[in-house]
Amino acid sequence: MDMKDEQWVWVLVHGPEGNEQLLGQQDVDGNVSFIPCFLGKDEAANGLAHLNKERSKMHTVQAIIFEDLKRYAEQNGFMIFVIDAMGNIIERIGNVPR
Query: For 45-73, what is each residue's pLDDT tens digit?
Result: 898 888 876 665 678 899 999 999 999 99
pLDDT tens sequence across 21-48? 898 999 877 789 999 999 999 999 898 8
Judge whether 80 and 95 are in contact, CB under 8 Å: no
**Domain edges within the chain:** 8-93
Count other Cβ atoms within 10 Å, centred on residue 20: 12
pTM, to two decimals: 0.87
Strand runs (DSSP E) across 15-88, as ranges?
21-22, 25-27, 32-37, 59-65, 79-83
Sequence-ordered list of residues with C-beta below 8 angstroms from that of 13, at least 6 positions apart, any chain? 20, 21, 22, 23, 59, 60, 61, 62
